[in-house]
Amino acid sequence: MTGVVLTNNVAEMTVVVMALLAWQSADLHIHTDSKFILELVNGGLLAMEQDGWPDLPYSNWAVPVSLALLYKHLLFLLQRHNSGLTFSWVKGHSGVEQNKQADKLAKQGVEDPLYKIDVTSLHTPLGWVDDTLVLNHQSLVHLTYCVVWEEIPCPLRGGKFDTFCADWTNWMLVHFSTELDILKHFTTLWCLDVPISLKELLWKLASGSLPLGGHWYGTSDLGRTCRCGAKMSLHHIWVGCPRYILSPLRETLIGFLPTLCPGSYWTLDFDEWPSPFWYPLLSLKALEACLPLTRKQACALHDSQHVREQAIGPYLWFIWKNHMREMADPKFTFIPWRQVGSLEKALGIG
């Protein structure tokens, strides 16, 4: 095996790949003592595909070859196999003759340099495997690595983001009469002074992974429907749930924002931000440059941009967190006016 670090799991996967390549149209019954392989073929690969092939290891940083290539190709071969295919588990080192022979051949393959397979030569045709990245179970480091080494296109150019990109552009044009390039501004999400958990939440919204990511959304109905019966969405949580009125919390934020602009009380009015009113966070600077400001006002807004982000971000996350707690804890009820003090503490007021 070349191109990746050889481990027992890699070797076991490689054997299955070679078997599927050799007998593409034959009834195939594979016996294995590897529970790792059985977990992969019994839903593990599909789960990894759903989660965007998360954090699979690399051989090294100089030659970026990911095990994802092998996992994806194995899923492709399993889906393409056009005859009977069965996997059975046998206990290792238990005297089964064929298993003993397989162990012998595996050891021979490790010791003999003639037995090689280059993982980078595995070609998975388009359309068989979804390799679009998501953030549900992945670190930002891994996503950045994949983009830097151009193993994937910019995620925003993938189909998962098409609806979001169109909605964002149209919303900005309607509400601010400003045409902005979302591909330029959405990347500033990672530079915003907002909670990192909120950044991941907004990424999930843009990629269509809401409301609660793969773990919650995929295993229960808890995150799909609000207690009021409405379909869950950030619009519903931040603006429209009839179970509570957010005015006390909203007024707290709006009253706090002008104090963050020394020399000017002008700030982009939140009342101009109908849902989804987090959109302007990505382009505050560009939007405020279009306002008829004096030089003093422009300087005040520029100097205070980060602290205003630090106020808006925790405000949004505070509401989301309390709403989700209400969803998960039957004993807790989110009553906004009782939470004003907690929000003030989160914003650092007082």
Q: With helix as H, strand as E and coil as C, how does 182-240 read?
A: HHHHHHHHHHCCCCHHHHHHHHHHHCCCCCCHHHHHHHCCCCCECCCCCECCHHHHHHH
Question: What value does the mean pLDDT of the chain take?
Answer: 77
27-31, 45-49, 200-204: which has the highest mean pLDDT? 27-31
- Could you give the number of structural domains in the chain? 2
Query: What's the pLDDT at 230?
Result: 82
pLDDT exceeds cutoff 50 at 33: yes
| Residue 340 banded pLDDT, cuts 50, 70, 90 | very high
CATH, residue 87: 3.30.420.10
Q: pLDDT tens digits, residue range 146-195? A: 667 766 666 677 677 888 888 899 988 888 888 888 888 887 887 788 88
| Average pLDDT estimate for 104-132 | 69
Lowest mean pLDDT among 54-63, 204-213, 236-245, 317-326: 54-63
CB-count burial class (<10 Å; 0-12, 13-18, 19+) for 175:
middle
178 plus 287 within the same structural domain: yes
If asked whether residues 218 and 295 sit together in one domain, one would say yes
Summarize pLDDT for 308-325 with one digit per residue, the tens. 888 999 999 999 889 888
Same domain? 179 vs 107: no
Are 200 and 266 in the same domain?
yes
d(CA 54, CA 56): 6
Residues 217, 188: Cα–Cα separation, whole Å: 27
Same domain (yes/no): 78, 178 = no
Answer yes or no: do 235 and 281 share one domain: yes
Q: State whether 219 and 261 are in the same domain.
A: yes
Q: How high is the pLDDT of residue 338?
A: 93
Same domain, 106 and 60: yes
Q: 74: how many CB neighbours lie within 10 A of its CB?
A: 22
For residue 88, give its domain range: 8-121
Same domain (yes/no): 76, 19: yes
- Work out the average pLDDT over 339-346: 92
Q: Are residues 306 and 222 in the same domain?
A: yes
Q: Are 20 and 28 in contact (CB under 8 A)?
A: yes
Residues 105 and 159 grouped into a single domain: no
- The answer to whether position 321 is within a domain reads yes
Contact 273, 267 (CB under 8 A): no
Q: Measuring CA to CA, which residue among 299, 224, 312 is closest to residue 269? A: 312
- Do both 44 and 170 map to the same domain? no
Cα Rg, the chain, nearest whole Å: 26
70, with CB counted inside 10 A (0-12, 13-18, 19+), is: buried
Question: Would 130 be classed as within a structural domain?
Answer: no
